[in-house]
Amino acid sequence: MALSRRAVGILLLMTFASAGPGVTTSAGVSTTNPVTGTTSASSHASPAPPNHPTQPTAAVRPAALRPAALRPAALRPAAGPTATVRPAGVEPVDRDIAAGKGFIYWGFYKWDDETASWAFSLVGANHPKKLPKDGDVYGFRFALIVGSDERLPRADGDFDAICGSEEAGEGEKRIAFVLDYGTQADAPDGETPPDPRGVCATAEEDFTVQQALQTVATVRTDESGLICGIDDYPAQGCGEPVTGVSAPPADQQVALDLPGDDSSEEGGSASDEDAASSPDDSSSDGISTGTVLTLVLAGLVILTLAVGGFVLSRRRR
């Protein structure tokens, strides 16, 4: 006999009431109590079968096919770009060195007293807003540049050694220069570099580095103002690229020719020796000349006496 809808509802109500509020299914899903109308989640899941994980896990894959985070370190991709791995002892090859390309020009540097080293100047020597100050030291180095190596002046920027005896008047400043003409390996074909020298310029306050340099050395520039030659070295050319060259050997420190140094003193002492030797030479010449004159006079006296004696003897006869 079919039950009425009212009977079915009563049966269902009795079933849920006997189960109690918050009944949880075997799948762990919360249910609603039809009497109170409240929903409650179970805090205990149904027991899991033995050896069955309570949480889903990824399928076991070969190491190379696992996600990057789960792979062994040796198989993980690098995080970002990395440098090319080179065998031990093999240095990177500079393309310009390998191709034998380079440039030959006058480099412009400023001496840093704090670090006691040369720093490549980022502005030109004739920059009107970067004027040198009294006591500054600037260096110019003529060199062949192959690759990325710097070719610095080969002597320190010792202001006291270069400008120690110079004095600046009112509205003037003293600037020391280290002029390094480079080595024979740097020299253009057919030219020989002069010895490096230090020179002090006493210039007006508003002079640029180049203007101060022009008071103590001849400077040749191109149309753009680039310094091409100092003291007529080199005789021609201005920073052109060169090919078929190899990197010059490592530089060695050198001593500068300075105003009033040993070389000039040696020259002065040599001239003094020459001057001192002149009187000796003249005196020795004078002695020999006097001796000759004495002999001549003696000979004349003897001859005169002989002639006189001969005349007297003739008269007596």
In tens, the pLDDT along 204-231 reads 999 999 999 999 999 999 999 999 999 9
pLDDT in the model for residue 101: 87
For residues 20-55, b (16+ Cβ closer than 10 Å) or e, as one string? eebebeeeeeebebeeeeeeeeeeeeeeeeeeeeee
Helix (H) or strand (E) holding 160: helix 159-163
Q: Tell me the pLDDT tens digit for each residue of 46-66.
A: 444 333 333 444 444 444 444
How many Å separate Cα 192 from the centre of its chain? 25
**Residue 98 tokens, joined:** 């390998």
Share of the chain above pLDDT 90, in %: 45
CA 170 to each of CA 124, 133, 155, 162, 167: distance values in angstroms, whole numbers, following the listed order: 27, 14, 30, 20, 10
Give me the residue label for tokens 């920073």.
239
Residue 205: helix, strand or coil by DSSP? coil
Task: Tell me if 111 sits within 8 A of 139, measured CB to CB.
Answer: yes
Pairing status of strand 172-180 against strand 137-145: parallel
pLDDT in the model for residue 150: 85
Helix (H) or strand (E) holding 269: helix 262-316
**Residue 104 tokens, joined:** 């030959």
Task: Tell me if 177 sits within 8 A of 214, measured CB to CB.
Answer: no
CA distance 19 to 33: 9
CA distance 158 to 200: 11
Q: Tell me the pLDDT tens digit for each residue of 245-302.
A: 888 899 999 999 998 775 444 444 444 444 444 444 444 444 556 666 667 677 776 7
Residues 6+ apart with CB under 8 A from 184: 192, 193
User: What sign has the CA pseudo-torsion 145, 148, 154, 158?
Assistant: positive
> What type of residue is 199?
V
pLDDT in the model for residue 269: 43
| For residue 310, pLDDT beyond 70 | no
| For residue 159, pLDDT beyond 60 | yes
> What type of residue is 253?
Q
Give me the residue label for tokens 């052109």.
240
Give the lowest-confidence range in 15-19, 111-115, 137-141, 234-238. Answer: 15-19
* Cα end-to-end distance, the chain, whole Å: 218
Q: What's the predicted TM-score (pTM) here?
A: 0.56
pLDDT in the model for residue 259: 83
Q: Tell me the pLDDT tens digit for each residue of 253-265.
A: 999 999 877 544 4
pLDDT in the model for residue 12: 58
Q: Tell me the pLDDT tens digit for each residue of 160-182.
A: 999 988 899 999 999 999 999 99
Pairing status of strand 172-180 against strand 197-204: antiparallel
Mean pLDDT of the chain: 72
